[in-house]
Amino acid sequence: MTCQVFFCSAECYNGATIPIPQLAKKTFTVAVEGNIGSGKSSFLHYFDTSNSVEVVPEPVELWKSVRGHNTLELMYKDSERWSLTFQSYVQLTMLQVHTQKQTCPVKMIERSLYSARYCFVENLFRSGLMPSVDHAVLTEWFDWIVPNTKVGVDLFVYLRATPETCLERIRSRQRKEEAGVPLEYLETLHQLHDDWLIHQSQFKPCAPVLVVDADKEFCELKKDFERQRTDILCGYV
């Protein structure tokens, strides 16, 4: 069956406009992307009140309890030792998020299989914390999963906050596993997100990208969310 495609405009990072597809179909997946501390949880909580939206948080609790093992904590403590273990499990749990049965018109997920590969795995590899063979294995898995399973995304919402803002928020929320996150790590992740979702230099997003200035206070951000609500929810309200 062929879907009719409509377009509306959203403000892009450089002031240009991008087409946000409004497809004549019943369900959409919106992936909310951004650095650690960029405000993804607040964004999801805001839209969770809509009857058209089901929110699926990042499966952090699963990562913290894998048959008694906190893989997230292990990853932060010794990335070189645990990067493959952790990212393998991230890939599995994000695949489960993408493919779980949808009950509302819009499924809004916190991060995606794509950011796991293009930002976090890539950072580990480039920084020398993941051997090339581990990177190759994860890439082979990713390259098979994408065309063979239902991991499609209709829209990426990129909450773009400066690394300094992210670090301040991380310190404010005081999660044990994030206690030692350095600014340099956030700067690297920030650049990888920009390269993927804005510059599209090495990796290209599989769907349109709506960029939100997430440096603002939440009371101001809510105004932006409302202004772009129709675009964010792919035509639903």
- Are 138 and 84 contacting, i.e. CB atoms less than 8 angstroms apart? yes
Q: Which long-range contacts (CB under 8 A, 24 or more apart) does 187-190 make?
A: 187/163, 188/123, 188/127, 189/35, 189/36, 189/119, 189/120, 189/123, 189/163, 190/35, 190/162, 190/163, 190/166
173 marked as part of a ligand binding site: yes
CA dist 36 and 105 (Å) reads 27
CA dist 223 and 201 (Å) reads 31
65 marked as part of a ligand binding site: no
126 marked as part of a ligand binding site: no
34 marked as part of a ligand binding site: yes
170 marked as part of a ligand binding site: yes
Exposed e or buried b per residue across 50-78, where buried means at least 16 C-beta atoms within 10 angstroms of its C-beta: beebbbbbbbeebbeeeeeeebbbbbbee
180 marked as part of a ligand binding site: no
40 marked as part of a ligand binding site: yes
171 marked as part of a ligand binding site: yes
187 part of the active site: no
CA-to-CA separations, 158 to 9, 79, 97, 111, 194, in angstroms, rounded: 16, 26, 19, 10, 9
68 marked as part of a ligand binding site: no
81 marked as part of a ligand binding site: no
Region of residue 86 (phi > 0: left; psi between -120 and 50: alpha; otherwise: beta): alpha
CA dist 42 and 159 (Å) reads 11
CA dist 206 and 153 (Å) reads 7
160 marked as part of a ligand binding site: no
Which is catalytic among the residues 110, 140, 164, 220?
Answer: 110
Hey, which residues are catalytic here?
Answer: 110
- Which amino acids are annotated as binding site, given as ranges? 34-42, 169-173
Which residues are documented as binding site for ATP? 34-42, 169-173
